[in-house]
Amino acid sequence: MAIQDEMRQVAEGAREASRTLSRMPTEIKDRALKEMAERLLQQAGWLMQENEKDVAFAKNLGLSPAMIDRLTLKESTIRDMADGILEVASLPDPVGKVTSMWRRPNGLLVGRMRIPLGVIGIIYESRPNVTADAAALCLKSGNAVILRGGSEAIHSNIAIGRLLKDVLKETSLPEAAIQVVETTDREAVYELLQLEEYIDLIIPRGGEDLIRAVVRQSRIPVIKHYKGVCHVFVDADADLEMAAKICLNAKIQRPGVCNAMETLLVHREAAPRFLPELARKLRESHVVIRGCEETCALISDAEQATEADWYREYLDLVLSIRVVGGIEEAMDHIARYGSLHTESIVTNDYANAQRFLNEVNSSTVLVNASTRFSDGFQLGLGAEIGISTTKLHAYGPMGLEELTTTKFIVYGNGQVRT
């Protein structure tokens, strides 16, 4: 079959399945999820065998050890996948929730009810656990899902998909509710991205290049973030001990993720007391500093930052530091160089804390806390399907509710318009 027809068949199947799924009781969805977790554990041996094919191929290709590590399914990775699915089963079902209801003067009772989006396409790279995570979140929220992973993980993804589909069949759920695209033909992605009449939302997960390619090609709405250039602003009035603790956590605890701090802004009044001591601690953790002129004057081994550095998402033990004249200059810097992801202010000044929260319109804005909390689990959403820095539909970490929309429901007793 031509790739175009094949993808259309996949998408039509998903659309059909989504209609059944949208009215499936929570109980049945949860029973299937629990069974899926069980099945992954039972079939761990077979999964690792299938995964071994991908790993061997990746080694032959000479992929980096880091990439091979992300690709490899171990007993512990499979256990984590199963736990993740059980966690999703335990969350409240957003579907059918009436979020508000009001009475109109003519007696109509009007409300908004959560419903699934329909069909969601996930385009992702290397890590096969995304297959199980994303499938579970979509199933719980009543959406059919089409999963298109990278060719380097194809055997692993197909194997996980087969197990999940077996469970769907056994629990009388439509099999096409979870589909792993089995071809590694690159055209398949392009073809999927054209099928706006069947697919409601595309979520790309991976590097900026992958995401930009998806946005360029898609006719379907895409929810994404390109990068996270997260800022911490240490105000004149900050508790400097707290500020150091937050900065170290934001930079070092996990430097390779999108909510790590990339740029530190320090109030001119606090800089001489704060920066030399912070630099010492950063040095202990092998963090390289790229500073503005004033920063370099205070930190002897800092490199001079270039204009391009202020836009940079290092995802590494590197930090840009700029000394600023106050909150106004800090917010201007964030507006100009930021990525609308996550920003934090450390301050004891009440007015500045409120101003920062109100005026910085990044997707997560914090006072006196690490940027690393910008995460669906940490913020209390119970799960995370991705992070959006596009303001439409969802902004910031996305949980189960963000995989739904609301329709208007209206209870009348014969009302007509006059």
The reply on whether position 110 binds a copy of itself by CB under 8 A is yes
Q: How far is the CB of 368 from a copy of itself (least distance, A)?
A: 4
Which residue, 129 or 368, has its beta carbon nearer to a copy of itself?
Answer: 368
Of 46-54, 132-140, 228-236, 367-375, the window that binds a copy of itself (rule: CB under 8 A) is 367-375
Contact call for residues 229 and 257 (beta carbons, < 8 A): no
Lookup result for tokens 């806390």 = 369
Span near a copy of itself by CB under 8 A; candidates 115-123, 153-161, 229-237, 300-308 = 115-123
Residues in the chain: 418
Question: Which 3 state secondary structure label does DSSP give 281?
Answer: helix
- Exactly one of 50, 93, 133, 200 binds a copy of itself (CB under 8 A); that residue is 200
Chosen residue from 41, 113, 213, 297 binding a copy of itself by CB under 8 A = 113
H or E segment and range at residue 255: none
**Could you give the 3-state DSSP secondary structure of residue 9?**
helix
Q: How many amino acids of this chain bind a copy of itself (CB under 8 A)?
A: 67
Does 120 interact with a copy of itself (rule: CB under 8 A)? no
Question: Coil, strand or helix: which one is 323?
Answer: strand
Of residues 247 through 306, those in contact with a copy of itself by CB under 8 A are 248-250, 253
State yes or no: residue 215 binds a copy of itself (CB under 8 A).
Answer: yes
Dihedral angle over CA of 184, 187, 190, 194, nearest 10: -110
Q: Please give the Cα distance from 129 to 280 (Å, whole number).
A: 38
Sole window of 55-63, 214-222, 229-237, 291-299 interacting with a copy of itself (rule: CB under 8 A): 214-222
Number of neighbours of residue 190 by Cβ within 10 angstroms: 16
Residue identified by tokens 């197909």 is 158
Q: Is 212 in the site for a copy of itself (CB under 8 A)?
A: no
Between CA 253 and CA 366 the distance in angstroms is: 18
Which 15-54 residues touch a copy of itself, going by CB under 8 A?
19, 22-23
**Contact status: 221 vs a copy of itself (CB under 8 A):** yes
Q: Is 392 in the site for a copy of itself (CB under 8 A)?
A: yes
Mapped onto helix, strand or coil, the DSSP state of residue 346 is strand
Q: Which amino acid is at 57?
A: F
Q: Give the helix/strand (H/E) hosting 274.
A: helix 271-284
Binding-site ranges for a copy of itself (CB under 8 A)? 19, 22-23, 96, 102, 104, 108, 110, 113, 115-118, 200-201, 215, 219, 221, 223, 239, 242, 245-246, 248-250, 253, 335, 357-359, 361-370, 372-374, 378-380, 390-393, 395-397, 405-417
